[in-house]
Amino acid sequence: MPNLQAAILQALRSVQDPDLKRDLVSLGMIDQLLIKDHTISFTIILTTPACPLQEILKQECIQAIRTQVTTDFNIAITTTAKVTTGHATASVLLPHVKNIIAIASGKGGVGKSTLTTHLALALVNYGVKVGILDADIFGPSIPTMWGCRGVRPPILEQEGKKYIQPIERYHVKLMSIGFLAEEAVVWRGPMASAALKQLLKETKWGPLDYLLIDLPPGTGDIPLTLVQTVAVTGVVVVTTPQKVALIDAVKAIAMFTKAHIKLPILGLVENMSYFLPTTAQNTIHYIFGKEGGKQLAQQKAIPFLGQIPLLPAICQQGDDGISAVDTLPIFDTIAQKVAQQISIQNAKATF
């Protein structure tokens, strides 16, 4: 039924991806269109399995076919995903990594490692390949948060070169200076930058859809070394609602948006937003101020990714080491929004 198939494709051209602002057909998102036994079936190829809009896209496709083509057929739509990248060519340093996301803040203690950890768990639950690089050379938190302090990564040798095999927990690949050095690292900035480059270069990451870089606080050597060494897809900024943290968050945003760096800010996360006692479920306590991060995101015209409550369980997980079932729904929502923003940035780089 070539005429019917052509009509269906024409109808699907009226369905736009709301983020990419182009129709599904020209984006190459329609695949395996088949008409058989009074059923129209096809697959929508999403730019990430964490896409929050897939049900909306399905319904719009059905509506387009029903109103523009026919109401006489059943419509069966499946979805699959192919994580995009904004790089035209593979990175020399990390050739198998599609997207590098920096998790940053201007101030320490706002929850970068907590967000990095739970964001990785939420993303990997969608079936994508995720890694974490703990780039805080002087105060690595990832080994503790993942319950693998004292674990030493294996050393591999390939073609006469030695590589570090990442530690793997819950299908997430982990690398940190904390796996390699037990004692405090007492180095000047250039030495720390060299260590970061070595971790990037000598870690055998393998194929990854997302590599999350847990940056140290501030706007110093390590963030600069990162953006000068690899192609960073974008930055997620973490803050708490209090003024002293917001002031430093503004500095972090300013650093990454400067002309000589010019990285997309994928969004801002407000951590420790409020406390909700278990004994008084309707009583919200704003310990560090109310919605300071949300207001900052609005002022800077950057996406607001969500508010993480102050929960003793999250703190306990950080001390004891998380488990794969620990991720809260808010982290799943943040993961969807981060994946969505990455797809938008990659589309901008491609079109």
Greatest Cα-to-Cα distance within the chain, rounded to the nearest angstrom = 72
Res 88: pLDDT: 62
Residue 113, marked binder: yes
For 269, residues 6+ apart whose C-beta sits below 8 A from its C-beta are 115, 236, 237, 238, 239, 293, 305, 306, 307, 308, 334
What average pLDDT does this structure show over 311-318? 82
Q: Are 217 and 107 in contact (CB under 8 A)?
A: yes
Tell me the per-residue pLDDT of 15-54, one tens digit each, with 9 for 90 and over: 999 888 899 999 999 999 999 989 999 999 999 998 888 8
What counts of helices (H) and strands (E) characterise the chain?
A: 10, 15
93 in a structural domain: no
Confidence of residue 277 (pLDDT cuts 50, 70, 90): confident
Pair (157, 26) in one structural domain: no
What average pLDDT does this structure show over 181-203? 78
Residue 292, marked binder: no
Pair (241, 158) in one structural domain: yes
Q: Are 130 and 210 in contact (CB under 8 A)?
A: yes
Pair (54, 154) in one structural domain: no
- Span of 10-14, 90-94, 130-134, 181-185 with lowest mean pLDDT: 181-185
Res 307: pLDDT: 95
- Span of 106-110, 134-138, 152-156, 313-317 with lowest mean pLDDT: 313-317
- CA-CA distance, 169 to 144, in Å (whole number)? 12
Res 187: pLDDT: 66
Q: Domains in the chain: how many in total?
A: 2
Pair (124, 53) in one structural domain: no
114 in a structural domain: yes
CATH number at residue 48: 3.30.300.130
pLDDT tops 90 at residue 168 = yes
- CA-CA distance, 123 to 121, in Å (whole number)? 5
138 in a structural domain: yes
Q: Give residue 43's identity as a one-letter amino acid code.
A: T
Q: DSSP of 255-315, one letter per residue?
A: HHTSTTT---EEEEEE-S--B--TT-TT--B-TT-SSHHHHHHHHHT--EEEE----HHHH
Res 209: pLDDT: 96
Pair (59, 144) in one structural domain: no
Beta bridge partners of 163: 156
Q: Which domain holds residue 39?
A: 2-81
Res 340: pLDDT: 94
351 in a structural domain: no
18 in a structural domain: yes
Pair (77, 117) in one structural domain: no
Q: What percent of the chain has pLDDT over 90?
A: 61
Pair (222, 133) in one structural domain: yes
3-state secondary structure of 26: coil
Pair (161, 262) in one structural domain: yes
Res 90: pLDDT: 57
Confidence of residue 186 (pLDDT cuts 50, 70, 90): low
Confidence of residue 89 (pLDDT cuts 50, 70, 90): low
Residue 178, marked binder: no
Pair (196, 324) in one structural domain: yes
Pair (111, 45) in one structural domain: no
163 in a structural domain: yes
73 in a structural domain: yes
- Span of 89-93, 188-192, 300-304 with lowest mean pLDDT: 89-93
Token output for 68? 């523009």
Residue 111, marked binder: yes
Pair (21, 114) in one structural domain: no
Closest alpha carbon to 246 in 271, 226, 266: 271
Q: What's the whole-number average pLDDT of the chain?
A: 89
Q: What percent of the chain has pLDDT over 70?
A: 93
Res 281: pLDDT: 64
The residue written with tokens 């801002």 in the block is 268
Residue 106, marked binder: yes
202 in a structural domain: yes
Pair (156, 185) in one structural domain: yes
Residue 107, marked binder: yes
What average pLDDT does this structure show over 60-76? 95
CATH number at residue 136: 3.40.50.300
